[in-house]
Structure formats: structure tokens, C-alpha cells
Amino acid sequence: MFNVTYEIVTEASAEHGEAEERGFIVEGASLRDALQAVCETRTSFVDGVECIEANDSGIDHARWITVYNGMEYETGAHESRSLHMPEHLTAATRRRIYRLLKESA
């Protein structure tokens, strides 16, 4: 089962090196549901995906993959969502999930 978390950074929170808000979007989701949740944003006023990166330089060992969204033009906030993978996944499965995320975004 997969978890999806989010983090929202505003201009004011960034000045203090903190996130304005963070938490879980879904816990214990299927891969399909987790991929959908990680590619969504809280509003439709976001400037699209800026980048996708794993927490590890070797995707074979990544524990999570983060989708960084562009700025929300009404508030200046930036939202990122992370797909957290179960430990038992093989390196090949982690690579496939990463490719799926890159194709979905």
C-alpha cells in the first residue's frame, strides 16, 4: 500500500525555512489511486509540474518520489506531493513507478 503526502510552502514560510502546511493526502492506497493523488493539486490555479525527483540519486533505492508543482498564481504558494513506496518493492518496480509518474505529470 502507498501513502501520498503534501507540503505547501508560501513566501512567508520560506523566509523561515519552513512549510506553511504539510500532511497526508491518502494512506494505504492502491498504486492507481496513489498515482492519481500525487499528480493532483489542491487548486486549478497552479502553473503545472516543475520537476519530479526521488529522495535518492539512485531510483532503485528511492523511498519516495516528489512532484513539485509551479506557483499558485493567486497566492504565490508552491505545493509538492510525494508518493511513498513500500519497502518490499524491487528496484525494477521502483523504476517503473518513476516512469509512470514522469508520463502522468
Nearest by Cα to 85 from 9, 7, 5: 5
Which residues, 6+ apart, have CB-to-CB distance to 83 below 8 Å?
2, 3, 4, 34, 35, 38, 64, 65, 66, 67, 97, 101
pTM: 0.88
C-alpha cell at 103: 508520463
- Contact yes or no for 65/96 (Cβ under 8 A): no
Number of domains observed in the structure of the chain: 1
Q: What residues make up the domain containing 29?
A: 2-104
pLDDT in tens, the chain (105 residues): 999 999 999 888 888 888 899 999 999 999 999 999 998 887 667 778 889 999 998 899 999 999 998 888 888 889 999 999 999 999 999 999 999 998 877
